[in-house]
A and B are shown apart, each in its own frame.
Chain A
Amino acid sequence: MAEQKQSQQEVSSAPPAGGLSLDWWAVIAALALAALILVGLIPAVPW
């Protein structure tokens, strides 16, 4: 059981084939939004 949990941890800490880490998805999403704002596809964002 401990070995299974350990191997699950090792698997979950390494990106699966074709998968990206959460960090990279956050960067991609943020840069995509920035690009949309830059080209004017997203108008002014209020707060």
Chain B
Amino acid sequence: MTQEIAAPQPADTVSIGSLPRRILGLIPGLLLLFVIGYAGKLTQSGIKAYVTANHITFPDIEYVLWAIIYGLIITNIIRLPKVFKPGVDTYEFFLKAGIVLLGARFILGDILKLGGVSLGLVAIELAVAIGLMVVLGRLFKLSPKLTSLLAIGSSICGVSAIIAGKGAIEANDEDASFAIAAILALGAFGLFAYPAIGHAFHMSDQAYGLWAGLAVDNTAEATAAGAIYSDAAGKVAVLAKVTRNAMIGFVVLGFALYWASRGQAKGVENKAGFLWQKFPKFILGFLLISVLATVALFSSGQLASLGNLSRWAFLFTFAGVGLRTDFRELRKQGLRPFVVGAIAELTVSVVTFLLVLGASSVFGL
């Protein structure tokens, strides 16, 4: 059971051995990702054409939501055959490649401005999320290391941060599974709740994207939550989220040093090396592409192509988000970590919502 929950996180390393066999094994899942993602796209355009032709007022629901729903139906009702799993697990690769390519849609000035605002809000969000999770963990008598993992996951980056934290603080597999399950379940719920709330409050694309990027923990789900609202909001959500992700090394290092000082984890000798190892390298790719776009290396047509490639990569990602969310497995992990995570997430959502509203009026988002 523990391994099944850990399984959705694809291996973070790729070796070149037996490459042809590995590639063949990926094909069924890759095809499924494409079919589901494209079905979402066709659903959106089909509905739009129908309501336009018949003069019906109906919200334009982004293909992202349809792709996720189809994926959820397949995994939770029909059941995903094992042959598709290796290919479906590649969705994380497409997410990261998509984010790198997304750099073409930002000039550096935009990144510096929005990134600067995000960084300030991220610092506040980190403090609130970590502090709150620690208090709640003690209140609900969760194991201290599980509490640390939930704090890491809810403040930074969901599953990746929890896995990074698990190794650094020497938490056990069970605690890591609880934390991952809680974060993923809440993220799945957030995909539907956040856009609805954003529309109810008539948030601008920038403000909503900032909120989604700050509040949703898993990068794929933050990207999806933004893109469900609008294409523009999706861009901003990614930028806010990668700003949070960039902090992963510092937060995990902090917890590692804390547990080492209590004699319950190995000390960190090379802190700079630790920070570099934990830093999400795809952010460097994102910044590089943005710099190249800013210095006008690409023509406007080429930039548009890069942007569209990013969208195609995300199409695979969003299909994967739905397909890998198995509510039965999440339910097996138990209610208590989920309740703690839910309370903390709700509070962080409210706090970041208020922060974004404040930032909107100050910075004119």
Chain A interface residue count, Cβ-Cβ cutoff 8 angstroms: 33
Q: Which of B15, B172, B301, B312 is within 8 Å of A16, CB to CB?
A: B15
Cβ-neighbour of A45 out of B167, B289, B308 (below 8 A): B308
Is B282 within 8 A of A23, CB to CB? yes
Asked if A5 and B173 make an inter-chain contact with CB atoms under 8 angstroms apart, the answer reads yes
| Shortest Cβ distance from residue B354 to the other chain A in the assembled complex, whole angstroms | 33
Q: How far is the CB of B305 from chain A (nearest CB, A)?
A: 4
Which of B68-76, B94-102, B149-157, B190-198 contacts its partner? B94-102
Report yes or no: A24 in contact with B281, Cβ–Cβ below 8 A.
yes
Are A9 and B97 in touch, CB under 8 angstroms? Answer: no
Which residues of B are found within 8 Å of A47, using beta-carbon distances? Answer: 307-308, 311-312
- A-B CB contact pairs (8 Å), 18 listed: A12-B11, A13-B12, A13-B164, A16-B15, A19-B16, A21-B12, A21-B14, A23-B281, A27-B96, A27-B100, A27-B285, A30-B101, A30-B289, A33-B101, A34-B104, A34-B292, A34-B306, A47-B311
Q: Nearest 6 CB-CB pairs, A to B?
A: A26-B96, A27-B285, A30-B100, A23-B281, A45-B305, A47-B308
Name B's A-contacting residues (CB within 8 A): 10-16, 92-93, 96-97, 99-101, 104, 163-164, 166-167, 170, 172-173, 280-282, 284-285, 288-289, 292, 297-298, 301-302, 304-309, 311-312
